[in-house]
Amino acid sequence: MPCLVDARGLRCPLPLVKARAALAALAASDTLVVLATDPESPIDLGALASDTGRAFACECADGEWRFELGPVQNR
């Protein structure tokens, strides 16, 4: 089951800070799901996924973002 961070209603940089803290506690094979409403979140969390070598997927519905930072990918 993925780890969930609900950062809806939080402004930049808090969604990123919470996601980074949650990733630190996860194994490389685990998935983190982040829910956010901040418009900067796609940029911040996409960069976090890239920096940590994790798979990244995002979708937006009604102003709410859902991000998935998947297991670490082989580089």
3 is catalytic: no
Tens digit of pLDDT per residue, the chain (75 long)? 889 999 999 999 999 999 999 999 999 999 999 999 999 999 999 999 999 999 999 999 999 999 999 999 976
Catalytic hit among 3, 12, 58, 60:
12
Is the distance from CB of 72 to CB of 26 less than 8 angstroms? no
DSSP strand pairing (32-36 vs 3-7): parallel
Rounded to the nearest 10 degrees, the angle between the axes of helix 14-24 and helix 41-52 is: 30
